Structure 1
Amino acid sequence: MDNWSSYRHPALPLRDLGLACLGAGEQSGLLPSFAGRTLSSHGIVLVSEGSGHISVDGERFEVRAPAIMWLFPGVRHGYGPGPAGWKEHWLLFTGPTARAFEELGCYSRDSPLLQLDGSSERDLMEALGLFPALRAALSVGGHHSDLDASLICQRVLVEAGKQRNHGASGSPGDGEKLLARLHEMAHLPLSLPQVAASLNLTAPELRHAVQTATGMGPKELVIQLRMSRAQSLLADTDLPVQRVATLTGYDDPAYFSRLFTKKTGFPPSQFRRDHHRKSPH
Structure 2
Amino acid sequence: MRKSLHKMGKIPDINNSILNIGLINGNIPSGRKTGQRRLSGDFIALMTEGEAYFSVLSEERYLVKSPVLIYVPDGMRHSYDPSPRLRWKNYWMLFDGKTARSSFGNILPPHPGIFKIKETDDIGKNWSELCTIKVSECQNSANYSFLLLHKILLGVHMLITGTELTYRPSRFDAVLQELENKADAHDIDLCALARRYGFNYDNFRKQFKAQTGTGPKQYFLRLKINNSKTLLLNTALNIKQIAEMTGFESQYYFSRIFKEKTGTSPSEFRCGKINEKML
Bigger radius of gyration among the two: 1
User: Normalising to structure 1: TM-score of the pair?
Assistant: 0.48
User: Normalising to structure 2: TM-score of the pair?
Assistant: 0.48
Structure number with the higher strand fraction is 1
